[in-house]
Amino acid sequence: MMCILEAKNVYKVYLDQKKTKGRLVLNNVSLKVDEGEFICLIGPSGCGKTTMLNLMAGFETPTRGEILYRGNQIKKPSWERGVVFQEYSLLPWMNVIENVKYGLDGKKLSDKEKDQIAIDCLTMVGLSEFAEQRPNLLSGGMKQRVAIARTLAMDPDIMLMDEPFSSLDEQTRKRLDNEVYDIWLKKQKTVIFVTHSVDEALLLGTRIVMFSQSPGEIIKEWKITIDHSKRDLATSEFTLLKQEILSSLQTCSCADNYTNNSQKIINIEG
Amino acid sequence: MGNQNREDRILSSLLESRDNNEHVIDVPKDRVYILITNIVTFLIGILIVLLIWQGFSVLYNEYIGSSLISFPTPLEAFDRLFELLSGSNMFGLTIYDHVFASLKRWTIGYLISAVIGVLTGLILGYCTRLYSVGIIPVHILQMIPGLAWIPIAMLIFGLGDESAIFIIAMTAMAPIIINVSSGIRKAPPVIMRVANMVGSSRLSIFSNILIPYASLDIINGLRIGLANGWRVLIAAEMVVGVAVGLGFSISQATYVVDYVSAFVCIMVICAIGLFVEKVVFVSIEKYIRRKLGLEGGA
């Protein structure tokens, strides 16, 4: 397998707003991503998953260490690494198809070709009949599907998804998870998917990478070789795996949070 | 009251269609109703002004005023207005000449400052590093009262039109720059990331993202600039030695104790200002809001 993305001993420091405190967000993170993998990054919130993704996209640069995309250091964002953002990122004054076409803004294609690509991508996410609608008339799930279609239109080499469905309801999220999986299967793309849902990671990932509580470090990895269509979270192997992941999440995650919780219980009983 | 009635009517038609298990119906947009409400509200506002004016002039003329000159009443002013509108003379020229001269100075001065202001605002808003330095002179500029430019205008341009235009341009510029640049800076970071990821050119970033996001602020800046320019124009015309214009007419009227004419000029000034604000800018803003997808459907 070809290595498509490699993080080598990456450190990242953030300054707080007053610039009086520096915080270590990523602590010596190394990660190798092979072509065609579906990697799920999980970990407690605030552990640096999103930072890792931003570094891989090229929105930010590592404080120390380097990230290589096909052997070259990443210096700025590029359409080769398409990001689906957590927050809604559509342009309100463009209708759905124009938003998807905007993904092709940096490419020299004729308007006709752009239209064709945009329609194909919209069809792939099942929104072709909403092409003329403005985003403000769409539900949250539909907005994220348009954002996915826009990223697909760019025809990126690797898709970076930053908790794209975390603000959606359970039903919609499940449906969109399936769509992402279908796209991964059809387009043979590499996907890096940040999530805080263990179920989502178990259903989608070929590899699950777990980050520790801040400062973020990779503390564990699981490879899942079972075919996606045969995955059933009710089977014993998956429940066991889920137990294992959840318990490692708990032991690593913030001790202070944990004590806070137990204190609360005591208060209620008293 | 009107709203209550309207809701009640909608409820009745809803209850009628209840047999078909409907709970949503289309409501015809009551354009005439909305228009009439708007006009009536506007007229009431104007009426309040006229009433205060009338009340004060009566009070003054009957009880306070000791001089021989009476305080003009609205009726006198309107009489004089119609007289002037039908072409009679005011300080050697018709009122149309005065209005036209003022409008011309205003337009030229304003256009100059709009072009410079918008361009400067776009650049300052886009370059974050430049902004922190560049906005300081703009804030200083904003602190200078319009008429304080008179000595500088006189020094550079002498008496006449150019001085008035210069003063207008300098006064209108600061709010335009400030609003445009702060509007540009309002584009959400995530959208800028999308643009960088997609590989948009700088031109495309401006036309597809920054300017649309800033458009309401741009309009607001242009609006404040226009109003500032208008107000200072009238004041400037009183002092920079032009021989025609509404401001000039007011100062002349004061010298020759023709207060009725002065009031007519003030009325005309207000009417022009109101027209620009209520008709021109409100419709531009509405159009932009619709275009931006902030209001209304597809």
- For chain A (270 residues), the mean pLDDT of every run of 10, in chain order, is 89 85 88 92 87 93 93 91 91 92 90 92 89 89 92 92 87 87 88 90 90 85 84 84 85 46 28
Task: Point out which residues pair with A160 in neighbouring strands.
Answer: A83, A192
Disruptive mutation site among B186, B190, B198, B295 for chain A (greatest number of A CBs within 10 Å): B198
Residues of chain B positioned with their CB less than 8 A from the CB of A135: 293
CA separation, residue B194 to residues A54, A78, A161, B200, B213 (Å): 12, 10, 13, 9, 15
Structural domain that includes position A175: 3-80+156-269
B298 falls within a domain? no
Here the CATH number for the domain that contains residue B102 is 1.10.3720.10
SS3 content of chain B, % helix, strand, coil (to 5): 80, 0, 20
Last residue of a domain, one of B23, B44, B70: B70
Last residue of a domain, one of B28, B43, B70: B70
Put simply, the answer to whether B293 touches A135 (Cβ < 8 Å) is yes
B77 falls within a domain? no
Last residue of a domain, one of B22, B42, B70: B70
Looking at the fold, whether B95 and B66 belong to one and the same domain comes out as no
Contacts of A68 by beta carbon, 8 Å cutoff, 6+ apart:
A5, A6, A7, A8, A74
Q: Which of B198, B204, B293 sits opposite A93 (nearest CB)?
A: B293
DSSP A178-192: HHHHHHHHHHT-EEE
Residue in B closest to A90 by C-alpha? B191
pLDDT at res. A256: 41
CA torsion angle for B23, B28, B31, B37 (degrees, to 10)?
-40
Residues of chain A positioned with their CB less than 8 A from the CB of B199: 78-79, 105-107
A135 falls within a domain? no
Helix (H, G, I), strand (E, B) or coil at B111: helix
Looking at the fold, whether B231 and B87 belong to one and the same domain comes out as yes
Please tell me the distance in Å from A2's CA to the nearest CA on chain B: 24
Looking at the fold, whether B214 and B258 belong to one and the same domain comes out as yes
Residues of chain B positioned with their CB less than 8 A from the CB of A76: 196
B276 falls within a domain? yes
CB atoms within 10 A of CB B72: 20
Number of domains observed in the structure of chain B: 2
Which token pair is B271?
């009417």
pLDDT at res. B16: 77
Looking at the fold, whether B92 and B198 belong to one and the same domain comes out as yes
Q: Which of B198, B291, B294 sits opposite A103 (nearest CB)?
A: B198
Q: Which of A89, A92, A104 sits opposite B194 (nearest CB)?
A: A89
Residues 49 through 88 of chain A touching chain B, CB cutoff 8 Å: 57, 59, 76-79, 81-83, 85, 87
Q: Which of B194, B204, B293 sits opposite A136 (nearest CB)?
A: B293
* CA A76 to chain CA mean position, Å: 19
Q: Is A143 on the interface with B (CB under 8 A)?
A: no
For residues A125 and A117, what is the distance between their CA atoms, to the nearest angstrom?
13
**ipTM of this model?**
0.84
For residues B296 and B2, what is the distance between their CA atoms, to the nearest angstrom?
23
Looking at the fold, whether B52 and B124 belong to one and the same domain comes out as no
B297 falls within a domain? no
Looking at the fold, whether B136 and B108 belong to one and the same domain comes out as yes
Rg (CA), chain B: 25
> Is the Cβ–Cβ distance between A5 and A68 less than 8 Å?
yes
B75 falls within a domain? no
pLDDT at res. A257: 42
B76 falls within a domain? no
Looking at the fold, whether B98 and B239 belong to one and the same domain comes out as yes
pLDDT at res. B115: 96
Q: What is the pLDDT of residues A92-124, one digit of tens each?
A: 899 999 999 999 998 888 999 999 999 999 998
> Is the Cβ–Cβ distance between A87 and A147 less than 8 Å?
no
Looking at the fold, whether B95 and B36 belong to one and the same domain comes out as no
B44 falls within a domain? yes
Structural domain that includes position B199: 82-292
Looking at the fold, whether B48 and B159 belong to one and the same domain comes out as no
A107 falls within a domain? no
pLDDT at res. A259: 36
For residues B155 and B158, what is the distance between their CA atoms, to the nearest angstrom?
6
Disruptive mutation site among B194, B206, B290 for chain A (greatest number of A CBs within 10 Å): B194
In order along chain B (298 residues), what is the average pLDDT of each group of 10 residues?
73 75 71 86 93 92 77 90 86 88 92 95 92 93 90 89 91 94 92 92 92 92 91 86 86 87 90 88 88 62
Looking at the fold, whether B55 and B92 belong to one and the same domain comes out as no
Disruptive mutation site among A105, A114, A158, A161 for chain B (greatest number of B CBs within 10 Å): A105
Number of domains observed in the structure of chain A: 1
Residues of chain A positioned with their CB less than 8 A from the CB of B195: 105
Looking at the fold, whether B109 and B49 belong to one and the same domain comes out as no
A87 falls within a domain? no
Contacts of B95 by beta carbon, 8 Å cutoff, 6+ apart:
B84, B85, B264, B268
DSSP A72-119: EE--S--TTEEEE-SS----TTS-HHHHHHHTTTTS---HHHHHHHHH
- Which phi and psi (to 5°) does residue B92 adopt? 85, -10
CA separation, residue B96 to residues A192, B74, B102, B181, B198 (Å): 71, 21, 10, 38, 55
A202 falls within a domain? yes
Which token pair is B274?
């109101």
Looking at the fold, whether B184 and B282 belong to one and the same domain comes out as yes
Here the CATH number for the domain that contains residue A236 is 3.40.50.300
A33 falls within a domain? yes
